[in-house]
Structure 1
Amino acid sequence: MGISKVVLAYSGGLDTSIILKWLVETYDCDVVAFAADLGQGDDLQAIEKKALDTGAVKARVEDLREEFVRDFVFPAFRANVIYEGQYLLGTAIARPLIAKRQVEIALEEGAEAVSHGATGKGNDQVRFELTYTALAPHLKVIAPWREWHFKSRQALLEFARKHGIPVPVTPEKPYSCDANLLHISYEGGILEDPWREPDPSMFTMTVDPREAPDEPEILEVDFLRGDPVAVNGQSMTPATLLQTLNRLGGRHGVGRADVVESRFVGMKSRGVYETPGGTILRTAHRAMESITMDREVMFLRDSLIPQYAKLIYNGFWYAPERVALQRLIDASQEFVTGTVRLKLYKGQCTVIGRKSDQSLYDPQLATFEEEDVYRQSDATGFIRLQGLRLRVQHLVRSRARG
């Protein structure tokens, strides 16, 4: 059976602009362009018009900002998610939502296939297609980067000029960018040399820390069962809250990261990221947990962070193991409620206070001053038992050495 209609995950950028035209020419099919508003700040009306001008029979632009933060960002940040110690997964966490909605639209539109603009070298192809497989395995998948003859983005630029397709990338700044409410990423161009410093003019969400205000800014973030619900005492929706933290963090140069990461397909790649609100959120969340979460629960949850992050990075959001991990993580957040106070200054986000009605911190137990609730002599037996296996090992080894 042939393909008469395709739903394309469309951004209006270089790759998907070319792909739209290529799909029409190659498959002689109708293309429905789907663009998700995740807070990337693009002119959505312009994206819709561009898709139609490029050959789409229909363009569907949908506001998914609240769903993105509520159902994807916040669950991941309950786990303090981070990949290889540096990357807060701003791109990876967005793909399962885009792909999910793309599948739903394909079913609504009666399309036989879905298509994406991910390259055959990257992670996004896996993230999109594992989601398609989990939600609608009967749909055919068209991955142009694995089919067409183009070998570089320079070739795409030439194709765009030939067909009169305007694209935001230029030979002078050939960055591949991905933006949403959580972050913006930059890859390609001069960044492919991991020794070369990023161009300072490249950054858009954060100011240079050296040019940030000379006075620190103090803010408070309120949490309820692991999720942030207010900034400086003002309750906000999830998307508005993250947008507010982005603005505050960006003003003080918080959240830049220059990362060489391990792609799922096996190669190393370099990405430069700006994640101001996410950096503040993760710092505040860990501080909230420090006084409200049981020690052993925290150790267990922390041991799962690398696995959880890898599942998201590799595209397994809808896999049963990720869902099972999420249930455990959410259970650990039952008492993570209270307020954290932070200081933003010259690229740094520092915790300067935390309080909670659920706090496990007991000043009477922790004090170095005189108190009657803890008998310090009890520590003698505790230490003796903790050291028993070490004492036995030493005695056995000593006898063996004669």
Structure 2
Amino acid sequence: MKKKVVLAFSGGLDTSFCAMYLSKDKGFEVYTAIANTGGFTPEELKSIEEKAYRLGAVKHATLDVTQDYYEKSIKYMVFGNVLRNGTYPISVSSERIFQAIAIADYAKEIGADAIAHGSTGAGNDQVRFDLTFEVLAPGIEIITPTRDMILTREYEINYLREHGYEADFTKMEYSINKGLWGTSIGGKETLNSEQTLPEEAYPSQVTQTGTEVLKLEFKEGELCAVNGEAFADKVKAINKVEEIGNKYGIGRDMHVGDTIIGLKGRVGFEAAGPLLIINAHKMLEKHTLSKWQLYWKDQVATWYGMFLHEAQYLEPVMRDIEAMLSSSQRNVNGTVSIILRPYSYTLVGVESDFDLVKNDFGEYGEIQKGWTSEDAKGFTKITSTALRIFYANQRKNGKL
């Protein structure tokens, strides 16, 4: 009997080659699978399925893991206000983990002998897929033709043509990966440190002028309403914010960071929804959390984002960090107002019953109500004790 291989399939050149090569040259029964984390339209998914069968797949599966991706990753990235290097919302890189998990589960479900993917040896994705498969599908062989054979585009295109498969594999000027949590854009200017992407490189173009007020409501840290419209489905809420912000060209930037394999990487991105949601959430937290909640959240969230980016989602400590982040959100309730304009936005303010700025103890810089002037003098004197001891010692020993 032929061995079964599950191929993580996107319909691009590399995975198209892999599908035909594994079927024709290696004699596998090829089961193609695409794990959708919110980056594909129904029409695109249908087209990918048709390509798979044309390339020799015996069965194609579309695995929709968008809700899983939100519940097990995006939610915590919002709780932690996670922006890698203070810039990048860990868009496509976080999706890859959940795509790999879905592929591994599917491979076990159908009793596959092997799992294949089309990653090259020069990027992060090879690690994300391999590591996830090693951990969640032990004993199942991992096959990576593109990486192992060090293939060129020309070789892959010629191979497909020789086997009767014709398709437009014209190399685009930019490599674009669209997902629920942002779109990455790589190529040309991103390969040159002194350049940035031109307007036309971004998939979304600016169509709105003037200004607009956007109101985002959060309940226990999760986005629950957009401009007064309630959303039980958080994925739809994210899509709504993305739709509004994209029209203004908001959320564009260039990310420079360290890859898993040690290279410095540079990529452009647009992520109107993630950046508006994260920064609104962060502002609401400033009003509703204590000083030390904010401090420790920042510490663990930085690690959470780094581990997620570097394929360590399955590390047990991630569940511990998620528990801490979830606990911190119990009072993060309220509405944030934002003014949108082309290419930028302004966080205006918050309305919340848990707003710690509004209190009965005093107004900063104005008047105290919870203590007397004598209390303040005593507080300051006690607070200064350690410093007074140190500097008295310095004077005594002639150091001052």
Q: Calculate the TM-score normalised by the size of structure 1.
A: 0.91
Report what 1:272 is aligned to: 268
Distance in 1 (CA, whole Å) between partners of 2:114 and 2:380 is 65
Provide, for residues 322-353 of structure 1, a one-character-per-residue CA deviation record: whole Å limited to 9, x for no partner. Answer: 11111111111111112111111122232112
Partner AA of 1:296 in structure 2: W
Shift of 1:170: 2.7
Report what 1:228 is aligned to: 223
Query: Relative to structure 1, is the Cα distance of residues 370 and 190 closer, same or farther in structure 2, using a 3 angstrom cutoff?
Result: closer
Report what 1:241 is aligned to: 237
Distance in 2 (CA, whole Å) between partners of 1:388 and 1:167 is 77
Report what 1:8 is aligned to: 7
Report what 1:82 is aligned to: 83
Partner AA of 1:245 in structure 2: V
Distance in 1 (CA, whole Å) between partners of 2:273 and 2:304 is 21
Distance in 2 (CA, whole Å) between partners of 1:127 and 1:65 is 18
Report what 2:284 is aligned to: 288
Provide, for residues 148-199 of structure 1, a one-character-per-residue CA deviation record: whole Å limited to 9, x for no partner. Answer: 131x44554454555555666534x343322111111122344322223323
Provide, for residues 60-85 of structure 1, a one-character-per-residue CA deviation record: whole Å limited to 9, x for no partner. Answer: 11333233223321122111112122
CA contact (8 A) 1:291 1:359 kept: yes
- 2:387 aligned to which of 386, 390, 393: 390
Report what 1:185 is aligned to: 184
Report what 1:35 is aligned to: 34
CA contact (8 A) 1:19 1:117 kept: yes
Report what 1:47 is aligned to: 48
Segment of structure 1 superposing worse, 228-237 or 380-389: 380-389
Distance in 2 (CA, whole Å) between partners of 1:400 and 1:367 is 40
Provide, for residues 201-235 of structure 1, a one-character-per-residue CA deviation record: whole Å limited to 9, x for no partner. Answer: 22113x34xxx533211111111111111111212
Shift of 1:244: 0.5
Matched, 1:147 2:148: yes
Distance in 1 (CA, whole Å) between partners of 2:32 and 2:11 is 9
Query: Relative to structure 1, is the Cα distance of residues 335 and 168 closer, same or farther in structure 2, using a 3 angstrom cutoff?
Result: farther
Segment of structure 1 superposing worse, 131-140 or 82-91: 131-140
Matches within 5 A, 1:107-122: 107-122=108-123
Segment of structure 1 superposing worse, 370-379 or 45-54: 370-379
CA contact (8 A) 2:214 2:227 kept: yes
Report what 1:63 is aligned to: 64
Query: Relative to structure 1, is the Cα distance of residues 9 and 381 closer, same or farther in structure 2, using a 3 angstrom cutoff?
Result: farther
Partner AA of 1:331 in structure 2: S
Report what 2:295 is aligned to: 299
Distance in 2 (CA, whole Å) between partners of 1:169 and 1:383 is 71
CA contact (8 A) 1:258 1:273 kept: yes
Distance in 2 (CA, whole Å) between partners of 1:10 and 1:131 is 16
Report what 1:93 is aligned to: 94
Query: Relative to structure 1, is the Cα distance of residues 109 and 305 closer, same or farther in structure 2, using a 3 angstrom cutoff?
Result: same
Distance in 2 (CA, whole Å) between partners of 1:161 and 1:400 is 86
Shift of 1:315: 0.7
Provide, for residues 6-26 of structure 1, a one-character-per-residue CA deviation record: whole Å limited to 9, x for no partner. Answer: 111111122212222222244
Distance in 1 (CA, whole Å) between partners of 2:266 and 2:67 is 29
Aligned residues: 395
Distance in 2 (CA, whole Å) between partners of 1:108 and 1:354 is 48
SS of the counterpart of 1:32?
A: strand
Matched, 1:255 2:254: no
Shift of 1:367: 4.9
Distance in 1 (CA, whole Å) between partners of 2:228 and 2:159 is 52
Distance in 2 (CA, whole Å) between partners of 1:142 and 1:399 is 73
SS of the counterpart of 2:94?
A: coil
Segment of structure 1 superposing worse, 153-162 or 118-127: 153-162
Matched, 1:379 2:376: yes
Segment of structure 1 superposing worse, 239-248 or 178-187: 178-187
Query: Relative to structure 1, is the Cα distance of residues 387 and 67 closer, same or farther in structure 2, using a 3 angstrom cutoff?
Result: same
Partner AA of 2:202 in structure 1: F
Segment of structure 1 superposing worse, 326-335 or 35-44: 35-44
Query: Relative to structure 1, is the Cα distance of residues 108 and 268 closer, same or farther in structure 2, using a 3 angstrom cutoff?
Result: same
Report what 2:321 is aligned to: 325
- For the aligned residue pairs, the C-alpha RMSD in angstroms reads 2.3
Distance in 2 (CA, whole Å) between partners of 1:202 and 1:103 is 34
SS of the counterpart of 1:344?
A: strand
Query: Relative to structure 1, is the Cα distance of residues 167 and 87 closer, same or farther in structure 2, using a 3 angstrom cutoff?
Result: farther
SS of the counterpart of 2:39?
A: coil
Segment of structure 1 superposing worse, 116-125 or 252-261: 116-125
CA contact (8 A) 2:36 2:99 kept: no
Shift of 1:292: 1.4
SS of the counterpart of 1:147?
A: helix
Provide, for residues 280-305 of structure 1, a one-character-per-residue CA deviation record: whole Å limited to 9, x for no partner. Answer: 11011101211211211111111122
Query: Relative to structure 1, is the Cα distance of residues 251 and 396 closer, same or farther in structure 2, using a 3 angstrom cutoff?
Result: same
Distance in 1 (CA, whole Å) between partners of 2:221 and 2:37 is 22
Shift of 1:371: 5.5
Segment of structure 1 superposing worse, 131-140 or 288-297: 131-140
Shift of 1:126: 1.6
Query: Relative to structure 1, is the Cα distance of residues 383 and 307 closer, same or farther in structure 2, using a 3 angstrom cutoff?
Result: same
Unaligned runs of at least 5 residues, structure 2: none
CA contact (8 A) 1:13 1:167 kept: no
Unaligned runs of at least 5 residues, structure 1: none
- 2:208 aligned to which of 202, 205, 213: 213
Query: Relative to structure 1, is the Cα distance of residues 371 and 388 closer, same or farther in structure 2, using a 3 angstrom cutoff?
Result: closer
Report what 1:345 is aligned to: 341
Percent of paired sites with the same residue? 28
Report what 1:170 is aligned to: 170
